Amino acid sequence: MNYTIAAPATADDVKDDLLRLMKSNFPWGHQADLWYRWGYEQTPYRSNVCWLVETEARERVGFTSRMPRRMKVGETVCEVGQAANLNVAAEHRNALAAVKLQRAVVSHVDQSDMALAFGITRNAVAVLCRAGYRDLGGFSRWIKFFRTEHKLSRWIPWVWPRRAVGSVIDLGLRLRATETYQRLPAGWQVLFDPPFDERFDELWQAASSNFAVATERNNDYLQWRFGRDPQLQYRTLAVQDSEGRLRGSLVYLFPDPEASLPLATIVDLLPVDPAALQVLLAALCQHLRREGAVGVQLMYFGSAMIESALRRFQFFRRESDYRLLAYLHPNYRDRQAELLDPTRWHVTDAEAKF
């Protein structure tokens, strides 16, 4: 079957088509109206650009979006595009339609003043590569356990003996844990759920030099991304120095008590330096232990500084199915060694939701 790509349009211009396709093709389709309002209408960025793919009969059977973002790319903050919501009806998932959609996105990047486009996917890696993206590698899932009873059930089926053995192992984990011996520097404070305000703008300015490529995590972005998300209720933890300056922050989800493995999830984090990152991770781990969490996890791609701290705090690494892909504007291709180096990026679940 031959497919054609309709002229690019703003999300508002093709809203009915987007909602119809979201509702029929995404597992969260029942929340499509809420997601559309948040992801397309409440965003702090300018309008999203969308492309629809049509059959020979002019039936619209899929779409993708170029969602605008502001990123630090090298030494400057500029507009980039996130390839998001690639969505093709099941009966047309033969790769041809999807590849044509993504080629429309990269053609748009070439003709714009954006520095790059990036995408995060587990199912469409081949599609994005065929369209011209570079596969930068896979995300890592980092996990740390505080409690082990759930791990013992295959060997100890009886509840009370399992709990007794688990409590001994848990005590050993706690005595070995880095956070057990980490103390706050003099005059520092841990802040629980501080409001996103100008202090977070200052934190971003201080922390952004750690990364060559990272989403601009200023007050406006944080309020939209975590304060208005219609699907999840996020918590925030920050550390403040003796002069009242934020030295690091993270956003996390407390574990669902109904989940089979109730792990807390670090959704995003931003430290000014390795010392602040240690204080930040210690404060979170201490808090989660007190609140009874089984453990904590983080999906991450990028900086060796972050990964080194996670290892220090006894997180262990597993491979994730998600991969990061990037496409550079022609004007930036002489900087591939810097901008396509996976260790120079800073990408978390904050971006992976899209």
Condensed to tens digits (0 to 9), the pLDDT of residues 6-44 reads 999 999 999 999 999 999 989 889 999 999 999 999 999
Q: Is residue 234 within 8 Å of 252, Cβ to Cβ?
A: yes
pLDDT of residue 303: 96
pLDDT given for residue 347 in this prediction: 98
As a whole number of angstroms, the distance between CA 239 and CA 11 comes to 38
Q: Span 211-216, mean pLDDT?
A: 97
What is the per-residue DSSP string for 131-181?
HT-EEEEEEEEEEEES--HHHHTTT--SHHHHHHHHHHHHHHHHHH-GGGG
Beta bridge partners of 301: 347
- What confidence score (pLDDT) does residue 38 get? 95
∠327-332-337 over CA atoms, to 5°? 80
Average pLDDT over residues 283-304: 95
| Statement: residue 272 has pLDDT above 80 | yes
Report field, pTM of the whole predicted structure over 0.85: yes
Given a cut of 70, is residue 260 above it in pLDDT?
no
pLDDT above 70 as % of the chain: 99
For residue 223, is it left (φ>0), alpha (ψ between -120 and 50) or beta? alpha
- Give me the domains of the chain, ranges plus CATH numbers: 4-132 (3.40.630.30), 140-321 (3.40.630.30)
Dmax (CA) for the chain in angstroms is: 70
Q: How many helices (H) and strands (E) does the chain have?
A: 12, 15
Which pLDDT does position 194 carry in this prediction?
97
Q: Output the pLDDT for position 172.
A: 80
For all residues of the chain together, what is the average pLDDT? Answer: 93
What would the mean pLDDT of 76-100 be, rounded to a whole number?
91
**DSSP structural state of residue 91:** G
Q: In terms of pLDDT, which residue wins out, 147 or 234? A: 234
